[in-house]
Amino acid sequence: MPLDLLILSNGPGELATWVRPVLRALRAKLGQDRSRVRISLVLSPCPNATGREVAIAQRYPELDRIQAAAHFFPFLLWGRTAEGWDWGDRGVVLFLGGDQFYPVIIGKRLGYRTVLYGEWETRWHGWIDRFAVMNADLVSRAPAQYVHKFTVIGDLMADVDSGMNLSGDSAASALLPDVPALPGADRPLVGLLPGSKPAKLAQGVPLGLAIAQQIHAARPDVQFVIPVAPTLDLDTLARFADPAQNAIAHYFGAVSARLLPAADPSGPFPAHCPSLKTESGLQISLWTPFPAYDLLQRCQLCLTTVGANTAELGALAVPMIVFLPTQQLDAMRAWDGIPGLLANLPGVGGAIAKLINGWFLRKSRLLAWPNIWAGEAIVPELVGNLKPEDISTLALDWLEHPETRDAVRDRLRRVRGKPGAAEKLAEIVVAELGIQE
């Protein structure tokens, strides 16, 4: 009977930024003999799930078995998988996303050792066997009697692009084998990341279109692409580009765009790539393969809203300009927890959202993840009643001065830390499996 390694994870972000590099590091240490060690992935429900998580995981050759989130709770409560998996006498449960209580329950049921990766917090210290954490701050916050369980391994996000160009293959091909390789392009490429939730898209899409039009007017050679979030369908995205369906668009000049089934074949994208086309004729390609790391790394810069996308761009060392428009304060309702519930109450939610957002914006704070990590503004954060011409002027200056972008890229690399967290985590797992390397 093989040893079993069970990975618990949940959303598309965790699969791409945590599970993928860890799997590569694990197989590099454990080898390909599946009769010796078997790796299974069990997904738990996630509010950011797309329904494509299993399809994404199936592209990871290091995995032997995958179970979808729809079957998670029967497994959690009664230990039954949908396909009736068998389990070896010895193994490890590795937590890479979800609720930290899950490995406690599942580890006890299977009689396996438990390893938890902690990025911002750790829980259940008495029941988890080993903690692999991003930084020493998490160790200092742990109860003294459990500090011996902790190992600082660094940020798994720093390993996002490790091994991306092996044997000359593009990262898009490495991550998603059925995606065509991107041909080379000598035209500048700017990425637009307007968000994935309606509260951000309502302002982010029209603002991004308006900025792109102004940049294009000054630099017709610049190409634009939106890496579409896996939670977002193209028809929904296009509705936010239509002033007739998005009342907030008039704050940014009411730039209008319609969805086209194919992009300009002369660009750096496959001919089947869809696009948004503005009334002026500007075509913005829509890139749907996920994750889009190879594409993002080819961008000279990205214009992005606040959120997790700033962490991914930071990990990839992509220069970015972060914007948070406040033209309509009651439109921003994407808060977590109780503030988010109050801001979305029927009838009174708009007024509450204005109060929450007004209070939030009065306080000076860093919003982009790389800036939070560094404790200073590495990338610009533009907040307020933003005008497209102000952002486009800054973007054009960056496009004209590659040395500015290079300086930002270097600082992002220093902040994200050195790669190697995945290998350190794999070493902990191998030790817990009782395998002598």
Domain count, the chain: 2
* CA–CA distances in Å: residue 389 to residues 215, 340, 412: 9, 31, 26
- 210 with 269, same domain: the answer is yes
> What is the predicted pLDDT for the residue at 336?
43
pLDDT of residue 11: 80
Q: Report the alpha-carbon distance of residue 293 to residue 134 in Å, rounded.
A: 22
Residue 363 lies in a domain: yes
Do residues 119 and 24 both lie within one domain?
A: yes
Q: What pLDDT is stored for residue 23 in this prediction?
A: 95
In a domain, 325, yes or no: yes
Q: In sequence order, what are the beta bridge partners of 3?
A: 37
Residue 352: the pLDDT is 53
- Collect all residues with Cβ–Cβ distance below 8 Å to 337 and sequence separation of at least 6: none
Residue 171 domain flag = no
259 in the same domain as 193:
yes
**Res 175: pLDDT:** 36
CA dihedral 176, 181, 186, 190 (to 10 degrees): -20
- Tell me if 291 is assigned to some domain: yes
Do 220 and 145 share a structural domain?
Answer: no
pLDDT tens per residue across all 437 residues of the chain: 789 999 999 887 788 789 989 999 999 999 888 889 999 999 998 876 767 788 888 989 999 999 999 999 999 999 999 999 999 999 999 999 999 999 999 999 999 999 999 988 999 999 999 999 988 989 999 999 999 999 999 988 777 765 443 222 333 333 333 334 444 457 899 999 998 878 789 999 999 999 999 999 999 999 999 999 877 889 999 999 999 999 888 888 878 999 998 765 665 566 668 999 999 999 999 998 877 888 898 999 999 998 778 888 988 899 999 998 875 544 454 444 444 444 455 654 555 555 555 545 555 668 788 898 788 999 999 988 889 998 999 999 999 999 999 999 999 988 877 789 999 999 999 999 998 76
Q: Tell me, what's the pLDDT at 339?
A: 45
Q: Same domain, yes or no, for 129 and 26?
A: yes
Q: Is residue 393 part of a domain?
A: yes
Do 43 and 94 belong together in one domain?
yes
The closest alpha carbon to 7, from 222, 196, 156, belongs to 156
For residues 152 and 185, membership in a common domain is answered with no
Residues 6+ apart with CB under 8 A from 403: none
Say whether both 80 and 48 belong to one domain. yes
Which residues are 118's β-sheet partners?
133
User: Has residue 253 been placed in a domain?
Assistant: yes
Q: What CATH number did the domain enclosing 88 receive?
A: 3.40.50.2000
175 belongs to a structural domain: no
Residues 301 and 319 in one domain: yes
- At residue 311, the pLDDT reads 81
- Same domain assignment for residues 373 and 411: yes
In this predicted structure, what is the pLDDT of residue 46? 83
pLDDT value of residue 273: 84
**Could you tell me the sign of the dihedral formed by the alpha carbons of 118, 122, 128, 131, in that order?**
positive
Cis peptide bond N-terminal to 291, omega within 30: yes
In a domain, 61, yes or no: yes
Same domain, 190 and 82: no
**What range defines the domain where residue 308 resides?**
180-416
Verify that 210 and 355 share a domain, yes or no.
yes
Structure tokens at 191: 């990425």
